[in-house]
Amino acid sequence: MSKIIVLMGAPGAGKGTQARLLQERLNLPQISTGDIFRGLKDSQTSLAKEVREIMTQGQLVPDELTTQLVRERTGRDDCRNGYILDGFPRTPTQALSLETLAAEQEKEIVPVLIDLPADTLEKRMTGRRNCPVCGEIYNVYFKPPRFDNVCDVHADTQLIHRADDNPETVRARLVTFELQTRPLMEYYNQRNLLRIVDGARDPELIYRDIEAIVGA
């Protein structure tokens, strides 16, 4: 049965970095609900404005909308042999929807928690920078680009600092995680499904653990 690799963890734990590696190396699509919502940044519809406001406040987009987006995206042909979810599910309701979806798609859910101490997370997020061309993720503290604020590969491209990676929103996002997403870990743990990897290491080492878990 093909797999739905669910990368879980607090914001800043490294889900995006691992999702990118898995996508490249396992040739499976990576679906990041955060990226989908950020893709609405130039849209002027009232829905897009509402989503932006929710993101700025570090809160969660309503379950129904989020689930609908995931259902639509994962129904596409490229997801046939499995896919990687980065940032979904984030609430127990979303987890239940994912179960329905997995049953319909005849796929197995493999939840992997990237675990990291809370005191590291804030710096991971406030230091984070992305290349808008290739999506490469840098960090001014932990993984600086070779030259200040430009991508190593796309040297003429300034890196982007996510709007919701400012200290105030970061704190709100961490609270949201503890209140709304942490219970999910318990849910998967009780069913003996949750696999945990230590996120305070080199991304390559973390990747190796995840690769072993998903049996690639």
Total number of residues that touch ligand AMP (CB under 6 A)? 17
Closest distance between ligand AMP and the C-beta of residue 10, in Å? 9
Does 55 help bind ligand AMP (rule: CB under 6 A)? Answer: yes
Q: Is 187 helix (H, G, I), strand (E, B) or coil?
A: helix
What is the 3-state composition of the chain as percent helix, strand, coil, each rounded to the nearest 5?
Answer: 50, 15, 35
20 binds ligand AMP, rule: CB under 6 A: no
Q: Retrieve residue 139's tokens.
A: 């960090």
**Which of the residues are catalytic?**
15, 90, 128, 162, 173
Can you point out the beta strands (E) in 67-204?
Answer: 82-86, 108-115, 128-130, 137-139, 195-198
Among 18, 79, 173, 206, binds ligand AMP (CB under 6 A): 173
Distance of CA 135 to the CA centre of its chain: 13
Nearer to ligand AMP, 43 or 208 (CB): 43
Kind of pairing between the strands at 30-32 and 108-115: unpaired
Among positions 64-83, residues that touch ligand AMP (CB under 6 A) are 66
* Residue 177 found at the interface with ligand AMP (CB under 6 A): no
Q: For binding to ligand AMP (CB under 6 A), which residues are involved?
A: 11, 33-34, 37, 54-55, 58-61, 66, 87-88, 90, 94, 164, 173
